[in-house]
Structure 1
Amino acid sequence: MSSDLPEFSAEFCARLREAFQRTGYHVDGVLAALGGQAHAALGRNEPEPARRASEDLAELGTLIRLFLLAGTEPEPAVRAALHPAGVAEALEAGLLRRARDGLRAALDLRPHGANDASWWVLSDLDSEQAGAPAPVDHVLGVGHASLSLVRATTRRPVGSLLDLGTGNGVQALHATQHAERVTATDVSARALALAGANLRLNGVRGELLHGEWFAPVARRRFDQVVCNPPFVVGPPRVDYIYRDSGLAGDDASALVVRQLPGFLAEGGIGQLLASWLHVEGQDWADRVHRWLPPNTDAWFVQRDVADPVLYVGTWLRDAGIEPRSPEGRAKAGVWLDWFAEHDVAGVGFGFVTLRRTDGAPTVVCEDLRQAYDDPLGAEAGGWLDRIDWLRDHEHDLPSATFVVPDSVVLERIDEPGDEGWSTVIRRLHRTDGPGWRHELDELAAALLAGCRGALPLSDLLGLLAAAHDQPVDELTATALPVVTELVRHGMLLPAEWSAA
């Protein structure tokens, strides 16, 4: 464990914030100063362009080299750049450390932004920056998983939000934009210390509680819960608190999915990252479905499935362990043996949205492996709205009137034949959100062409049945599941929504 916890007082954080605003050490300022190419190179872990660009940036350049490039800077230059915060209090707080030729960062401190918001996020230096192996309570920076959850979180206004396993507190920072009250928990005292420092550094408030899983908030309810749990699957061990739960396999994800709905207020939603095993002879959807408590709407979105061998190698390198080293080979052997003993064929990863319901729950497990640009959080909120509507209209769906949104297009693939071109594939494509695609037959395409908000679905099916000499009952029975799926994916909407 790390011995000393960082101690950032509110007064020190206010002075740091003033220094960063004065020098332009924020998202927009750093981007403008470095330029697009050097900034992009820095994001790829190519520091030299940023170092060169920083040489003519005076105090901002000092902060960029100190915190973003992990360099050593002369103490007078650091003192000037941090003013009105003092070097002595920065050393005492654990932000800086002395080096042979000056001062170095003892923590990672970098601007972070989304939409119109800009913050600063403290975390631990990685092993390369620190020059030593990371301790078990290492607090990770804002990585790919954190950003994925940020984008997958619904941002509708709520009264109370719980950030379970807050880590450096980045989810809590984002939550302050749409939640009146934010509570953050973690089993790591170091994580809570840094999360608290980040809240104070950015001038926002939040409740911080120490403890395992949901224990710190027992018997409480929240309008929203977000969670980036230690979801790495494999043998029950803890190399790093931020990624390892000490539970075997995918039990950590199962625990959160199983318990989270009990901490939701009426109408509240939970959103988390999760991993699940793909076991030989089993459907992953059946596996995660068994995790759910009763009366819970659930949307499991699988973003990737990793091969066990690649999975082990990836997480060994994440820990700074070379797979070819004796330590790497030993740990890989234990990990792969565990996968083999449990018939693991792959490891799935994705997002989960949960909501308590008094009606018959809707549970959907689906793959979403294509690239998309829009944040999934807005789509998750829309998905919940659409399944509510479907539940309310379960018995009178044929009487509803629908429209095809402007964002949905029909693609056709034709092939040549003796009588000219003939359509072999009709694919409905939603051009926004996650970019859902559905292949349709000729009758389904004709049905959607009539969904213009004028006639109810039953009339359209009657006309289509007559035109194609089909029994209307059979055509209706075939069409309703297709319509339901298209509504869930936002590719067909109730006409009253577009009118509103």
Structure 2
Amino acid sequence: MTAPVPHVDEALIARLRADLAAADFTVIGTSEVLGPLAAAALGREQPLPARRVAGASDAPAATLIRLFTLGDPVDVAEVERALPTLRLHGAIELGLVSEEGDGVVARCDVRPYASDDRHWWVASDLAEVATGTPVREDHVLGIGGASTTLAQWTIRRPVRTALDLGTGCGVQALHLGHHADEIVVTDLSERALAYARFNAALNECAWDVRSGSMLEPVAGQRFDLIVSNPPFVITPRSGDVPLFEYRDGGAAGDAVVAGLVRTVGEHLVPGGVAQFLGNWEVPSGSTWTERVGAWLEGTGLDAWVVQREVQDPAEYAETWSRDGGHHAGTADFDAMYAAWLDDFASRDVESIGFGVITLHRPETDRTPFVDLMDERGPVPPAMGDVAQVGLEARVWLAEHSDDEVLDIAWHATPDVTEERHTLPGSSDPSVIVARQGGGLGRVIRLTTVTAAYLSVADGGLTPRQAVGAIAGILDLDTAETEREVVAFVRDAAKDGLLVARTD
């Protein structure tokens, strides 16, 4: 039987909002209550330290942590003190809690969430850490690693219209509210949409909430920005594996993500951007760039895909067999593990990639660019700014000729350093690289020619001017030197190692 979900009552939700704020039930406030050790343990889904700390505190935030995060029974009097405006009867009426014996238990998870200087509250189904049992197939996730990854990578330029495709409980839509005038959210799960409506009301947001599969609810519509944390997990079509709605799109292999790549362009205005997460299979004898590149053929979209992680079939099976509260060594876990291995073997899958896909509809009639990068190193939390700069640079480079690139005065950004590696006893370096300190942390191997150009890339000379001097000093063909330098400038400029002089 489907578990109940909270319902929207504007008056009661206003009281709940006031009580949560008064209790300092915020990311900072709960961190201060728990302390670094318990907070870190809870982040690893180890509740015992948090339970010990919160149980010893009479702070309202501690009571709310015990109730809504840890799933512990709480005395009626403590709930009344923590929610003095809503009171227990109001929390029951909203569907947040119920009385069991002498105590009160939560029927859903409610927790604070923050990004930069913005903070919200997010309701979702109780996690396994609170229930102690595997989650149900219609489970609605709260704030997870995938949702925060997408939020960090999303370009935050102001837009008129935005779509959160597969919204779940509405995490991406909360972020969109600060730079989009109109927000549409969709999901196939009616349970997820109920939580999305509740979270919109709790955080005083106005969303157009629509039910349906993938892009069906927005047929005929176009948007400035589309974001999606889709059900991208590659799931065996087997009775041994739970078909969790939050991760399974109902298709074999990576077809859900492939289909989204091929169709999302129909819903972008010229200049519009789509960003989403995805998994892709790499069959034996192939590469991930061939796999994803084939999806992009004929879409007419610019594409920038950054592969962030690669797993072999066993690693992937272990990751997702544990998901939802299952544990290694149990019969259920082993059956799921085997089902994943059999599924991948049936398609001769050698590895599975994970990454961030950014698509852009060109505003001019030109050949779209395709940039497929493997960058697995650490990146700054606020990748949205980096993504915006990178996308704008790639669009500019696609719209300008090599001659135009050669006639711009470029300069290296302050975070770019040069490293030279020399073998013992040698007077000349065997390896020269340019290393980016921020952004994607790009490392570009330099030749004698490109190292010479980078050394004078201070905004004073154009590449064309520098090439003449470099070719003369090194006694090289000018045309060939020019081709080498312009290729380097394009590669470095797309990720911000080189920027155009603005004066």
Pairwise TM-score range, normalised by the shorter structure: over 0.9
**Is the CA contact 2:308–2:375 (under 8 Å) kept in the aligned structure 1?**
yes
TM-score, with length taken from structure 2: 0.94
Partner of 1:449: 455
For structure 2, the residue ranges without an aligned partner over 5 or more in a row are none
Partner of 2:244: 240
| Secondary structure at the counterpart of residue 295 of structure 2 | coil
What aligned pairs does 1:264-275 form with structure 2 within 5 A after superposition?
264-275=268-279
| Secondary structure at the counterpart of residue 111 of structure 1 | strand
Q: What is the CA distance between 1:135 and its match in structure 2? A: 2.0
Q: Which of 458, 462, 468 is 2:464 aligned to? A: 458
**Is the CA contact 1:188–1:241 (under 8 Å) kept in the aligned structure 2?**
yes
Identify the range of structure 1 (361-370 vs 292-301) with the bigger mean alpha-carbon deviation: 292-301
One-letter amino acid of the structure 1 residue matched with residue 447 of structure 2? D
Partner of 2:9: 9
Q: What is the CA distance between 1:291 and its match in structure 2? A: 1.3
One-letter amino acid of the structure 1 residue matched with residue 474 of structure 2? H
Partner of 1:487: 493
Offset from partner CA, 1:12-66 (integer Å, 9 cap, x none): 2111110011111112222233333432333233434434443234322211221
Partner of 1:400: 408
Offset from partner CA, 1:427-453 (integer Å, 9 cap, x none): 111111121111112221111111121
Aligned counterparts of 1:106 and 1:467: Cα–Cα separation in 2: 75
Query: Structure 1 residues 340, 48: closer, same or farther in 2, change over 3 A?
Result: closer
Offset from partner CA, 1:61-94 (integer Å, 9 cap, x none): 2112212322211001101211211312322322
Partner of 1:371: 378
Q: What is the CA distance between 1:415 and its match in structure 2? A: 3.0
Q: What is the CA distance between 1:306 and its match in structure 2? A: 0.7
**What do you get for the CA RMSD once the two structures are aligned?**
1.7
Aligned counterparts of 1:29 and 1:19: Cα–Cα separation in 2: 14
Q: What is the CA distance between 1:327 and its match in structure 2? A: 3.0
Aligned counterparts of 1:6 and 1:175: Cα–Cα separation in 2: 23
Partner of 1:119: 120
**Is the CA contact 1:275–1:348 (under 8 Å) kept in the aligned structure 2?**
yes
Q: What is the CA distance between 1:294 and its match in structure 2? A: 2.9
| Secondary structure at the counterpart of residue 98 of structure 1 | strand
Partner of 2:21: 21
1:150 aligns with 2:157: no
Aligned counterparts of 1:425 and 1:57: Cα–Cα separation in 2: 61
Aligned counterparts of 1:233 and 1:48: Cα–Cα separation in 2: 33
1:79 aligns with 2:104: no
1:320 aligns with 2:328: no
One-letter amino acid of the structure 2 residue matched with residue 424 of structure 1? S
What aligned pairs does 1:96-107 form with structure 2 within 5 A after superposition?
96-107=97-108
Aligned counterparts of 2:331 and 2:68: Cα–Cα separation in 1: 34
1:342 aligns with 2:350: no
**Is the CA contact 1:236–1:249 (under 8 Å) kept in the aligned structure 2?**
no
Partner of 2:424: 416
Aligned counterparts of 1:67 and 1:234: Cα–Cα separation in 2: 30
**Is the CA contact 2:69–2:126 (under 8 Å) kept in the aligned structure 1?**
no
Aligned counterparts of 1:488 and 1:80: Cα–Cα separation in 2: 55
Q: What is the CA distance between 1:402 and its match in structure 2? A: 1.0
One-letter amino acid of the structure 2 residue matched with residue 22 of structure 1? A
Offset from partner CA, 1:256-275 (integer Å, 9 cap, x none): 11111111112110000011
Partner of 2:431: 425
Aligned counterparts of 1:140 and 1:243: Cα–Cα separation in 2: 10
Query: Structure 1 residues 126, 68: closer, same or farther in 2, change over 3 A?
Result: closer
**Is the CA contact 1:374–1:433 (under 8 Å) kept in the aligned structure 2?**
no
Aligned positions, number: 495
Aligned counterparts of 2:134 and 2:38: Cα–Cα separation in 1: 29
Identify the range of structure 1 (173-182 vs 475-484) with the bigger mean alpha-carbon deviation: 475-484
Aligned counterparts of 1:4 and 1:320: Cα–Cα separation in 2: 21
**Is the CA contact 1:14–1:203 (under 8 Å) kept in the aligned structure 2?**
no
1:224 aligns with 2:251: no
Aligned counterparts of 1:91 and 1:403: Cα–Cα separation in 2: 62
**Is the CA contact 1:34–1:50 (under 8 Å) kept in the aligned structure 2?**
yes
For structure 1, the residue ranges without an aligned partner over 5 or more in a row are none
Partner of 2:316: 311
Aligned counterparts of 2:48 and 2:236: Cα–Cα separation in 1: 40
Offset from partner CA, 1:217-260 (integer Å, 9 cap, x none): 11011110000001111433661010011101000101111111
Aligned counterparts of 1:44 and 1:131: Cα–Cα separation in 2: 15
1:260 aligns with 2:260: no
TM-score, with length taken from structure 1: 0.95
Partner of 1:277: 281
**Is the CA contact 2:133–2:325 (under 8 Å) kept in the aligned structure 1?**
no
One-letter amino acid of the structure 2 residue matched with residue 327 of structure 1? D
